[in-house]
Amino acid sequence: MSLDIDYYELLQVDRSADDKALKSAYRKLAMQYHPDRNPGCSDSEARFKAISEAYDCLKDPQKRAAYDRFGKDAFRNGGFGANGGGADFGDIGDIFESIFGSAFGGGRQQRGPARGADLRYDMEIRLEDAFTGCRREIQVDVAARCDTCDGSGAKPGTHTHRCSTCGGHGKVRAQQGFFMVERVCPTCQGAGEVIADPCGTCLGEGRVDRRKTLTVDIPPGVDEGTRIRLSGEGESGARGAAPGDLYIFLHMARHKLFEREGTTLFTRAPISFTTAALGGCITIPGLDGQRHEINIPAGIQSGKQLRQRGAGMPVLNGRGHGDLVVQVDVETPTRLSAKQKELLEAFRETETGDECPASQGFFGRIKEMWDDLTD
């Protein structure tokens, strides 16, 4: 029995059916036509195989997309067009590329050794360094290009020859079910060439382990997690392939005075209750080396924030600075001399309640509550 029927018709579902509908339809039909339920019936066996084939295709998003566009031609002889119906796609990867573009690999890969790996280096710097910018020297252990063979992997004076396994393509193909699968050649590891006489220094790798000293320029305004890329300073690629990059990840050391949020610097300044009551001035040393005078208005409350414009961190790769924010914490004295206690007692005798309106309002509401309860 030949069942060259549309997959959706086989499963008795619409072309817009979701995964749940597909699965439900498949289970129902599979139970109906399963060979164990229809012993000796060749038609049921053929239909069961066709249903399984249809579901196996449509449950896979990539296979389904190819089928929706090209039908069963997508899975015949390595690609669409094998029966004269259109352009010849070399393998199913080309079909997916034509449907999805770069989302599935960004185009055809070139043969040859792979680019070297990118490396990561974590660096801790002070907040002062982030403010002014700085230059640091670091040492990293990398797989660097072999000087003996200049990265080719071959002994000086010798040459490579084309790989006989892949014919110099760097990849081999194998049929797997509906698909023609392409893999990196196991003999040449994608290079397309084989080294007959490897370099004695790098043993054919084209690279050796080495410690490098590098200079890193850190611009003003960097923050926790800022990433600096040093192009070409990662691992060298095998057999002369392009090197990877080195990424410097910056971390801020804890500062003894300031905390940071973006370009804003925060600090907390305890002041005496007399300064809070009468007003005054405090001096904060800035990361710019300047003395910043912070005026304390009379009657300031604990927790109030005072802002000094332009005294914060510089804008990374931009102009200007953020702000310095000083949070005032009013400190109650814990050790008083006899004279100070006498003066405070004299002050308390002169209090009318108007000096502290928030306190007066709070206790006024308490009095009203008690009056309501006793009525």
pTM of the predicted model, to two decimals? 0.60
Task: Tell me which amino acid residue 217 is.
Answer: D
The answer to whether the Cα torsion of 8, 14, 17, 22 is positive or negative is: negative
Residue 149 marked in a binding site? yes
Render each residue's pLDDT in the chain as its tens digit; 375 residues. Answer: 445 678 888 899 998 888 888 888 888 888 888 877 888 888 888 888 888 888 888 888 878 887 887 777 666 544 433 333 333 333 444 444 444 444 444 444 445 567 888 999 999 999 999 999 999 999 999 989 898 988 888 889 888 888 888 888 888 887 666 677 788 787 777 778 888 888 888 878 888 889 999 999 999 999 999 999 999 999 988 777 889 999 999 999 999 999 999 999 999 999 999 999 999 999 999 998 889 999 999 999 999 999 999 999 999 988 999 999 999 999 999 899 999 999 999 998 998 878 777 777 777 787 778 777 776
- Residues with Cβ within 8 Å of 224's Cβ and at least 6 positions away in sequence, in order, are 250, 251, 252
Tokens 């498949």 found at: 26
356 is in an annotated binding site: no
Q: Across the strands, what pairs with 140?
A: 212
Amino acid identity at 50: A
Q: Kindly report the CA angle at 184 between 183 and 186, in degrees rounded to 5?
A: 110
CA 201 to chain centre: 37
Task: Please give the domain boundaries of the chain with CATH numbers for all domains.
Answer: 7-104 (1.10.287.110), 110-147+205-253 (2.60.260.20), 259-331 (2.60.260.20), 338-374 (no CATH)
The answer to the question of whether 281 is labelled as a binding residue is no
Cα distance between residue 81 and residue 277, in whole Å: 89
How many other CB atoms are there within 10 angstroms of residue 44's CB atom? 17
